[in-house]
Copies of this chain bind each other. A is one copy, B any other.
Amino acid sequence: MSWLQDYAQFKHFLVSSPVEYVAFVEIIRPAKMNAFVEDMWVELGRIFARLSHDPEVRAVVLSGAGDRAFTAGLDVQAASQSPVFKGGDAARADASRQATQNRRHISEFQDCISQIEKCEKPVICVLHGISIGLAIDIACCADIRLCSKDTRFAVKEVDIGLAADIGTLSRLPKIVSSFTWVKDVCLSARAFGPDEALAVGFVSRVLETKAKAVQTAVEMAYLIAAKSPVAVQGTKELLNHARDNTVAESLRYTSVWNQAMIQSSDFKEALTSAVKKSRPRFEKL
């Protein structure tokens, strides 16, 4: 599909379209277990910013290439060379200036990853194999999380002397069911598997293999992409707003959102198609 050409410029990610209105984004650094260097999160942010407004896209699936890892997280070797982590050196002249540099760096990194959450279209993340550190930050930004049976999760940051700062600690407590479990895995950095992830609601389904998980994700994306994009994108927006606001504020925001959206032609198209039992065709968005 010609619209995919806009995504050909990115080096570390492959964007394809297995079915109409669905984009499939793969991290393609399998030789390094899809570990991230700075270039990669900058690209990731740009890709999701573009998908957000791309009228050809109504749902996105995100996965990692290869069999071994969704991603092993930050490429620690590369990171340990960055000025941010060299902060501990005696050579540093001034802790306040180092702090400023660090804060800007963290904010920019957060902004890139947050583009997944800000993407107006639903994002389904498929985890498999090694899925640690940044893998969790990324997955927390997605709307729906699936995994294969071989997935090995860990909120790994404390093991390298850091509190996770790219989103896991901000989002995980609002995604899963048990704060004692969140504290347990974040404080201990211990690994956990698909069963545990399913039990606490971190993932909504566990599939036999990565291939099966990707296929399921694409089917879910296809199902969602067949619905009214006005309804789907409004639902994502309103659910994310609800997470961060009181019920009263959320109800008010909802009424203001829908004062426009309820004027959509999609309502008629949906009803008519339901009567005709045909697949509805909604205008682009």
Please list the residues of chain A having a beta carbon within 8 angstroms of any beta carbon in chain B.
53, 76, 80, 84-85, 87-88, 90, 92-100, 102-104, 106-107, 110, 114, 117, 122, 143-145, 157-165, 167, 169-184, 186-190, 200-204, 220, 223-224, 227-228, 230-239, 242-248, 250-271, 274, 282-285
Contacts and interface: CB of A to CB of B under 8 A. Distances in A.
Copies in the complex: 6
A119 to B, nearest CB: 13
Nearest to A246: B244
A164 B236 CA distance: 11
A177 to B, nearest CB: 3
A107 B256 CA distance: 9
Contact of A253 (B53, B237, B242, B253): B253
11 contacts: A76-B271, A88-B263, A88-B268, A95-B98, A160-B267, A162-B267, A163-B258, A165-B257, A173-B174, A178-B204, A180-B204
Given A94-B283, A169-B242, A179-B174, A162 B202 contact: no
A173 B242 contact: yes
Given A180-B175, A235-B163, A270-B160, A254 B143 contact: no
Contact of A85 (B143, B246, B267): B267
Contacts of A227: 158-159, 187-189
Contact of A263 (B102, B169, B261): B102
A202 B114 CA distance: 29
A276 to B, nearest CB: 14
B220 A255 contact: no
Contacts of A170: 238, 242, 247, 250-251, 254
A160 B88 contact: no
A263 B95 contact: yes
A258 to B, nearest CB: 5
Given A143-B187, A161-B264, A231-B157, A97 B254 contact: no
A262 B256 CA distance: 13
A46 B230 CA distance: 32
B181 A204 contact: yes
A178 B179 contact: no
Contacts of A269: 161
Given A179-B201, A253-B253, 9 more contacts: A53-B104, A94-B283, A144-B183, A144-B184, A158-B232, A163-B261, A169-B239, A177-B178, A188-B224
B184 A201 contact: no
Contact of A165 (B202, B233, B254): B254
A232 B110 CA distance: 21
Contacts of A181: 201, 204
Contacts of A106: 254-255, 258-259, 262
